Amino acid sequence: MKKTRHFVLDANTLIRAFLLSNFSTAARAYYKATKEGKIALSNDAFEEFAEVFIRPKFDRYLPLFKRLIIIEDLKA
């Protein structure tokens, strides 16, 4: 039986992964983690990510509704 690999990414890395280009280090780390295993987040890390990710200063990178979808997908 193959073991599932778990990857721990902090809130800052996740935010950078979704807001910067797909070639950023953070994005590559995120996509590698989702391709090869699962992302492991503590409740505190997830809450920090969600709280920061909805801030209006990120509107210029990604509309709020898309960020809310990302938050829900990550929560699942």
pLDDT digits (tens, 9 = 90+) for 32-63: 999 999 999 999 999 999 999 999 999 999 99
- Residue 70, CB-side half-sphere exposure with 13 Å CA sphere: 20
Predicted confidence band of residue 17 (pLDDT cuts 50, 70, 90): very high
Q: What is the mean pLDDT of the chain?
A: 92
Is it the case that residue 74 has pLDDT exceeding 80? yes
* Percent of the chain whose predicted confidence (pLDDT) is above 90: 84
Q: What is the pLDDT of residue 21?
A: 78
HEC-encoded secondary structure of 21-72: CCCCHHHHHHHHHHHHEEEECCHHHHHHHHHHHCCHHHCCCCCHHHHHHHHH
How is the chain split into domains, by residue range? Answer: 5-75
Report CA torsion sign: 29, 64, 47, 42: negative
